[in-house]
Chains A and B, each alone.
Chain A
């Protein structure tokens, strides 16, 4: 058993158990926060050590214990599987988690103590679950952890449980992802039925080779918010901003991408699916980017941007290149977490989510504004920053795979990304001075420090390309190719457009009114809502009614028929003794007659 890898899980697990079971500790919110944060930091140091060891070629491999049996044989195992992918992913997860938890200490300082204690308990559970997902030795454990991170997401989105909208968002997130998970679970079942195990390395028989990964991909679409199952992610922004940073930007939503990377041997055997993935990814990237352009809520912009970037990753994986997708996952985790934390700082300062309420924040919160702008630049793909390298790699790979349609869509999305980030920065930080910004003050150090820590990888992670290339044993030399140039051009023109439109500090609408209205009306959401309201609910109502009044009614009617029959038969009971005697006599005579006939 790899003790280093285990330690990464044990610290947050201990913290979770401690906070979960020791009531007074949880009630004292701040102490709980410190325990959980320290556990996360310890976990981060542990995963750094693990990565170091793995890079030196030590401790790679898996260790499992039996979990389920059937027919006397072990059919499912749990355990840990350490390799470069899991080690590097663990570093990302724990680093962002540690930063986010430390940040939460400042961001949520005013919340009720009991709520705060619960918040950090769930955070500890999340690290355990996400670690279990990353270290999963087989698809079953990945699924278990997958569901558990979904649970954490549900609980954390519902942090403001008194707010009806938060409750709705939490439940919606759970329902939608669980809906998609039906596909994942069915995929697992078919995988087991066809290969007899939950391993991702066992090839599936040809007849099912497309079905199994396709079913798995349905789950991925839910968790990683691909169109049309992305509808929960924007709503999930009802949760506290640090939660959005950790779960709904950096780590949990990337679990789908991670699953594909892990189970790639299965996906590889299904070329039609890969093609579909490329297109779905590209469509998601474009649709989400367009939607992000018209949002006024800073978190919604970032949420749609997350969808869009996840689309980039899925498209890359679909084109058959793991490295680009995974590279982008990592860099995106850093700069998107930074962006969310920055947005949180702005929200904390102005008590509003609307970018228009933040106008002129630059003057009052200069430090966090700089951090946010760095994150935005990294997302937009400014050369030299993290996002530039990974996005460039994805586009290169798509070109390499000859996917010109998706490539064009992704290039357009890249331009739009730069445009909407510029819009946010221009309005929120340099826009007309607003009421909220007037009273704003800089965030406390407990929030600024984690953001500063995150800024380092957001800037530098792009240089880790060779390291990631090592994971797949493929050469990687960065060189500015025509596609890279095109991407840079798209980014720069997006920024330029943004500056032109919003640099003059006007309140211009990003799009003409008609399309803007249409996008804001959330057509895909409406579709699902209609399916829910006009499909499932009436059916359920009908079944409930039929069960109560027809099925049960039939049972009652049977009972009533017996009552009726009794009414008729009771006439025989006259109550007159002589009638009964007559009956006895008849009976005797009948018996005698039977005896006589029988004898004859």
Chain B
């Protein structure tokens, strides 16, 4: 327990957390009907990956991972911005953001 307090959680723990987050995000992505919720799930998955990057960086002593994580966060922000914009447009056109309604690409 002291070790845990002194060094913080080990790599395995961080990776488990990231895996858990990723799974939750995936579950949300596949099951939520609201587009905003889908976007949130997507964010969870992205951040799970970020955790991975930072964790590896910390335990391998390579700063590059953190740089990537920052990049990724920045990109995610952009993605969210675009995603929300799309959602707003969809709402304006359809008066709803139910993802099940959006099947125009059906073959």
Q: A and B from one assembly? A: yes
B30 touches A582 (CB 8 A): yes
Contacts of A521 in B (CB 8 A): none
Stretch at the interface among B12-20, B55-63, B95-103: B95-103
Task: Tell me, in angstroms, the Cα distance from A578 to B28 when the chains sit together.
Answer: 10
Q: How far is the CA of A150 from the CA of B18 in the complex (A)?
A: 93
Q: B-facing mask of A562-585, CB < 8 A → 1, else 0?
A: 000000011111111110011001
Q: Is the CB of A575 within 8 A of B99?
A: no
B98 to chain A, nearest CB (A): 11
Taking CB atoms, residues of chain A closer than 8 Å to B104 are 575
Q: Mark B86-107, 1 if CB is under 8 A from A, else 0.
A: 0000000000000110111111
In the complex, chain A residues whose CB is within 8 Å of the CB of B102 = 575-577
Residues 9-36 of B contacting A (Cβ, < 8 Å): 26, 29-31
Q: Are A570 and B99 in contact (CB under 8 A)?
A: no
- Please tell me if the beta carbons of B106 and A577 are within 8 angstroms of each other in the complex: no
Contact call B30/A585, Cβ cutoff below 8 A: yes
Contacting pair A571 B99 (CB below 8 A): no
How many of A's residues come within 8 Å of B, CB to CB? 13
Residues of B within 8 A of A577 (CB): 38, 99, 102
Q: Is B100's CB under 8 angstroms from A573's CB?
A: no
The residue that A575 contacts in the complex, of B26, B38, B103, with Cβ under 8 A, is B103
Contact of B99 among A569, A578, A585 (CB under 8 A): A578
B30 / chain A contacts, CB cutoff of 8 Å: 578, 581-582, 585
Which residue in B26, B29, B31, B100 is a CB contact (below 8 Å) of A576? Answer: B100
Q: Is there contact, CB below 8 Å, between B107 and A570?
A: yes
Q: Please judge, given known A-B contacts A581-B30, A585-B26, whether A576 and B107 are in contact too, CB under 8 Å.
A: no
Quick one: closest A residue to B42, CB to CB? A581
Q: How far is the CA of A571 from the CA of B102 in the complex (A)?
A: 16
Among A542-600, those with CB < 8 Å from B are 569-578, 581-582, 585
| A581 / chain B contacts, CB cutoff of 8 Å | 29-30
Contacts of A570 in B (CB 8 A): 107
Closest to B101 in A: A576
- Report the 5 A-B pairs with minimum CB-CB distance, sorted nearest first: A573-B107, A575-B106, A570-B107, A575-B103, A575-B105
Using CB atoms and an 8 Å cutoff, list the residues of chain B in contact with chain A: 26, 29-31, 38, 99-100, 102-107
A-B contact pairs, 29 of them (CB 8 A): A569-B107, A570-B107, A572-B107, A573-B105, A573-B106, A573-B107, A574-B103, A574-B106, A575-B102, A575-B103, A575-B104, A575-B106, A575-B107, A576-B99, A576-B100, A576-B102, A576-B103, A577-B38, A577-B99, A577-B102, A578-B29, A578-B30, A578-B31, A578-B38, A578-B99, A581-B29, A582-B30, A585-B26, A585-B30
A581-B29, A585-B30 are known contacts; what are 17 more A-B pairs with Cβ within 8 Å? A569-B107, A570-B107, A573-B105, A573-B107, A574-B103, A575-B105, A575-B107, A576-B100, A576-B102, A576-B103, A577-B38, A578-B29, A578-B31, A578-B99, A581-B30, A582-B30, A585-B26
